[in-house]
Amino acid sequence: MTAVCEYRAGLEGIPVTQSSISFVDGHRGILEYRGIPIDKLAESSTFLEVAYLLIWGELPNKDELEAFEHEVNHHRRLKYRIRDMMKCFPESGHPMDALQASAAALGLFYSRRALADPAYIRAAVVRLLAKIPTMVAAFQLIRKGNDPVQPRDDLGYSANFLYMLSEKEPDPLSAMIFDVCLILHAEHTINASTFSAMVTASTLTDPYAVVASAVGTLAGPLHGGANEEVIDMLEEIGSVENVEAWLDARLASKGKIMGFGHRVYKVKDPRATTLQSLAERLFEKYGEDEYYEIAVALEKAVEERLGHKGIYPNVDFYSGLVYRKLGIPTDLFTPVFAISRTAGWLAHWKEQLAENRIFRPTQIYTGTHEVDYVPIHGR
Ligand code: CMC
C-alpha cells in the first residue's frame, strides 16, 4: 500500500475517523457534545447525565438517568485485591501511573470480552465510570499511610469523590463546581489520549486496556499533565511584578508557557473561560488564591506577545486554581482529568466498535536498503 497523502507531523489536520460525539470550532471558540453547546451542559446538567449523553448519544430521560446513577453508585467499591495491589505501589510514584496500572488490573478480574453484547458494553461503562474515581482517591489515602475510605452511596458522583479524598463531606457549592469541571473535561474530539483509546479499541481488546492506554497518554505534559505544570509555573513566577520579566526570559529560551496554546483553538478555549469564572466563585466564598492575580497578569502578557499566533489559555490554565481551592493536591489534577475523560474515551470506544477496522497507518521510510551485514568482530 502506498501513502495516499503527504506526511504531516502529529497528524495535524488529518481525519482519523468519522465521529458524531463532539465538535470544536477553534476559531469561534465553540465546543459541543452531541451538538449541545458545552456552556449549556455546564449550566444545566450533571456529569453522569453528560457521560450518558456522550456514550449513548442522547440525554437520558428521568428514569434512564436514575437507573444509570443507581448502577454507577452501586459499582464504586474496589475489590480488596485491587486495594491490596495499590498498597504495594511506591508512595512516591505518580498517581497517574497508579491509575494506569489499577485500570489495567480491572481486566484481570473482568476478563470476559463480549464486545457485541450491549449488556457487556453497559456493564463495562458503569464499572469504569464508577471505579476510576475510587482508585484515584484510594491511592491518595494509601500513599499517606491510611486505609482508603469506602464510597458513600448517599452522595452524588462528585460529592462522593471529594468525600473519599478528604474523608469530609463537601459543601454543595464545592461538589457542584467539581461536577462542572468534570463536564468541561469529559470529551474533546480526537486528542492524543482519545486517539490512543481508539487505536487500542480497534484491536478488539478489553475496555480496561483501552482506558489504561488512554490514561498513559493523558499523563504527558503536552496533554493532561499540563494542568499540574501550570501551578509549578505560577509558583516559579512568584509575583505579579515578576510576570513580564519571567515571560520574556521564557520566550527568549524558546520555552513553552504551560496552559497556553492548542492545536485546534486559536482563541481562548471556552472551557478556560468557564473555569475562570468557577475559580472566581470559589474565591468569593473561600478567599482568593495567591496565584490568581499572577495568572491573570500572565494571560494579559501572553496575549500581548503571542495573541497574533493564536496562543491563548487552554483548559489547563485555570483548572488547577479551581482544584487547589477544592483542596485537591497538585499531582491529582491529571488523574481528575482522567476521571472525567473516561466518559469521552468510552464514547469513542463504543463508536469505534460500531464500525471497527484496525488502525494500521503507513510510514514514509527514510532508511537505507541492501546494507552489508558486518559480523560482530568486524564492527
Ligand atoms: N507557549 C509558547 N509558545 C507556544 C505555545 C506555548 N504554550 N504553544 C504554542 N506555541 C508556539 C510554538 O512555539 C510555535 O511557534 P513558531 O511557529 O514560532 O515555532 C507555534 O506556537 C505552534 O506551536 P506547536 O507546538 O507547533 O503547536 P502544536 O499544535 O503542535 O501544540 C500544544 C499544541 C498544546 C502541544 C502546545 O500549544 C503546547 O505545548 N502548549 C503548552 C502545553 C499545554 O498547555 N498543553 C495542554 C494542551 S490543552 C489540553 C490537553 O490537550 O490536555
Q: What residues does each domain of the chain span?
A: 19-221+332-354, 226-325
pLDDT of residue 1: 53
* Residue nearest atom 50 in ligand 1 by C-alpha distance: 223
Q: CB within 8 A of 96, min separation 6: which ones?
A: 215, 216, 218, 219, 224, 225, 334, 335, 338
CA–CA separation, 95 and 178 (whole Å): 19
- The active-site residue out of 179, 206, 316, 348 is 316
Q: Which of 22-26, 116-120, 223-227 has the lowest mean pLDDT?
A: 223-227
* Residue nearest atom 44 in ligand 1 by C-alpha distance: 259
List residues bridging with 23 in a β-sheet: 32
Amino acid at 172: P
Compute the distance from residue 139 Cα to the ligand 1 centre, in Å: 31
Q: Is 13 close to ligand 1, i.e. is its CB under 6 Å away?
A: no
Contact 206, 111 (CB under 8 A): yes
Task: Give percent of the chain above pLDDT 70.
Answer: 99
pLDDT band for 136, please (50, 70, 90 cuts): very high
Query: What is the arithmetic mean of pLDDT over 147-170?
Result: 96
Q: Which residue has the cell 481551592?
A: 325
Query: What is the arithmetic mean of pLDDT over 139-161?
Result: 96
How far are the Cα atoms of 93, 218, 282 from residue 89, in angstroms, in the given order?
7, 20, 34
Compute the distance from residue 263 Cα to the ligand 1 centre, in Å: 7
Query: What is the arithmetic mean of pLDDT over 314-339?
Result: 95
Decide if 19-221+332-354 and 226-325 have a common fold. no
CA–CA separation, 174 and 159 (whole Å): 8
pLDDT of residue 113: 86
pLDDT of residue 111: 81
Looking at domain 19-221+332-354, does it have CATH number 1.10.580.10?
Answer: yes
**CA of residue 126 relative to chain centroid, distance:** 18
How many other CB atoms are found less than 10 A from the CB of residue 290?
A: 12
Q: Which residue has the cell 491511592?
A: 139
Q: Is 263 close to ligand 1, i.e. is its CB under 6 Å away?
A: yes
Q: Is 311 close to ligand 1, i.e. is its CB under 6 Å away?
A: yes
pLDDT of residue 2: 54
Q: Is 222 close to ligand 1, i.e. is its CB under 6 Å away?
A: yes
* Ligand 1 atom at minimal distance to the Cα of residue 256: 1
Q: Which residue has the cell 459543601?
A: 171
Q: What is the 3-state secondary structure (H, E, C) of the chain?
A: CCCCCCCCHHHCCCCCCCCCCEEEECCCCEEEECCEEHHHHHHHCCHHHHHHHHHHCCCCCHHHHHHHHHHHHCCCCCCHHHHHHHHCCCCCCCHHHHHHHHHHHHHHHCCCCCCCCHHHHHHHHHHHHHHHHHHHHHHHHHHCCCCCCCCCCCCCHHHHHHHHHHCCCCCHHHHHHHHHHHHHHCCCCCCHHHHHHHHHHCCCCCHHHHHHHHHHHHCCCCCCCHHHHHHHHHHHHCCHHHHHHHHHHHHHCCCCCCCECCCCCCCCCHHHHHHHHHHHHHHHHHCCCCCHHHHHHHHHHHHHHHHHHCCCECHHHHHHHHHHHCCCCHHHHHHHHHHHHHHHHHHHHHHHHHCCCCCCCCCCCCCCCCCCCCCHHHC
pLDDT band for 353, please (50, 70, 90 cuts): very high
Predicted confidence (pLDDT) per residue in 288-304, tens digit: 899 999 999 999 999 99
Instruction: Pick 90 or 111 by higher pLDDT.
Output: 90
Dihedral sign, Cα of residue 42, residue 43, residue 48, residue 50: negative
Q: Which long-range contacts (CB under 8 A, 24 or more apart) does 302-309 make?
A: 302/247, 302/257, 302/260, 305/247, 305/251, 306/251, 306/257, 306/260, 306/261
Q: Which residue has the cell 512568584?
A: 238
Q: Is 10 close to ligand 1, i.e. is its CB under 6 Å away?
A: yes
pLDDT band for 103, please (50, 70, 90 cuts): very high
CA–CA separation, 95 and 333 (whole Å): 10
Contact 263, 27 (CB under 8 A): no
Amino acid at 239: S
* Residue nearest atom 14 in ligand 1 by C-alpha distance: 309
Q: For the chain, what is the mean pLDDT?
A: 95
262 is annotated as an active-site residue: yes
pLDDT band for 162, please (50, 70, 90 cuts): very high
Q: CB within 8 A of 265, min separation 6: which ones?
A: 24, 26, 29, 310, 312, 314
Q: What is the pTM of this model?
A: 0.93
Please state which architecture CATH assigns to domain 226-325.
Orthogonal Bundle (1.10)
Predicted confidence (pLDDT) per residue in 49-95, tens digit: 999 999 999 999 999 999 999 999 999 999 999 999 999 999 999 99
Residue 124 has pLDDT above 90, yes or no: yes
Query: What is the arithmetic mean of pLDDT over 184-198?
Result: 97
Predicted confidence (pLDDT) per residue in 207-246, tens digit: 999 999 999 999 998 888 888 899 999 999 999 999 999 9
